[in-house]
Amino acid sequence: MAIERVGIVGAGQMGNGIAHVFALAGYEVLMTDVSTDALDAAIALIDRNLTRQVSRDLITADTKADSMARIGTTVKLTDLGPTDLIIEAATERETIKTAIFEDLVPHLKPDTILTSNTSSISITRLASRTDRPEKFMGFHFMNPVPIMQLVELIRGIATDEPTFKTCQDVVEKLGKTSTASEDFPGFIVNRILMPMINEAIYTLYEGVGSVQSIDTSLKLGANHPMGPLELADFIGLDTCLAIMNVLHDGLADTKYRPCPLLTKYVEAGWLGRKTKRGFYDYRGETPIPTR
């Protein structure tokens, strides 16, 4: 089917980035959130990010204006009903995602494709709570969305081939690259990435190295652009913990046990950049390691 109108649920870090790339690719976008303040902040951030692209000669001022004109906002979830493709990018909690899909379903067109940007939750299970499991799949963008080139496409057990092919074509039109993943905990990226981050936290917890030495070792020793603890702060320690719990529960293997230090930081509310403290303290001009 032809995708022209795209609905995005959630105006946070992922939602506004997804809206940005879809509008830039020529799609009509309708973004919803429970908070008007969140929607206003998302529009302002998209405007700033597009302005940055203009300043770097990546796009023209006219392209920016056209892209901004394609983005609409609403606080009514049901307004997304007439769209062709919906991407849910709400909080990484299954109860919230399930409630969103249950509220949406009665208002959808028969051929609307439903997708989730979840980084670890079972696509098959989410799909089973809708009236269209064959038209449901995972559409997992990397953060920050305008910069990262990968999109993981995850089939649920019931996802049909036309739905997969349609989403694959959409990713291509966005100018990004898709990979196909089966529906197992963590999919591909987080199945590999999160245990690495968790192991880095164990390395800190056991006193093998400091925050600074661990991050420097991986940046210079493995040529990673960002150290694992710095990356954890960027992702959000609550998100890292949630994904590790999904891996641990879903695969029943002790190698996925979340490090107790990660749990302790989340209990303290030290979630990384978004709360100004995590493995680094971001309240000053320069991030300072907290251990």
Token pair 């796009």 in the structure block, residue: 59
Confidence tier at 91 by pLDDT (50, 70, 90): confident
What pLDDT, on a 0 to 100 scale, did the predictor assign at position 120? 83
Q: How many CA atoms lie within 13 A of 68 on its CB side?
A: 19
In this predicted structure, what is the pLDDT of residue 206?
98
Return phi, psi of residue 48, to 5°: -65, -40
Instruction: Name the pTM for this structure.
Output: 0.89
Confidence class for position 289, pLDDT limits 50, 70, 90: very high
pLDDT(119) > 80: yes
pLDDT at 202 over 80: yes
Residues with catalytic roles: 119, 140, 152, 190
How much is the pLDDT for 159? 97
d(CA 151, CA 141): 5
pLDDT band at 89 (very low <50, low <70, confident <90, very high): very high
Q: Kindly state the percentage of the chain with pLDDT values over 90.
A: 95
What class does CATH assign to 189-289? Answer: mainly alpha
| pLDDT at residue 93 tops 90 | no
Q: Write the pLDDT tens digit of every residue in 143-188.
A: 899 999 999 999 999 999 999 999 999 999 999 999 999 999 999 9
Rounded to an integer, the average pLDDT of 245-261 is 95
Spell out the domain ranges in the chain.
Answer: 5-181, 189-289
**For residues 72 and 83, what is the distance between their CA atoms, to the nearest angstrom?**
12
Query: Is 74 or 1 the better-scoring residue by pLDDT?
Result: 74
| Average pLDDT taken over every residue of the chain | 96
Tokens standing for residue 200: 């880095």
Classify domain 5-181 at the CATH topology level: Rossmann fold (3.40.50)
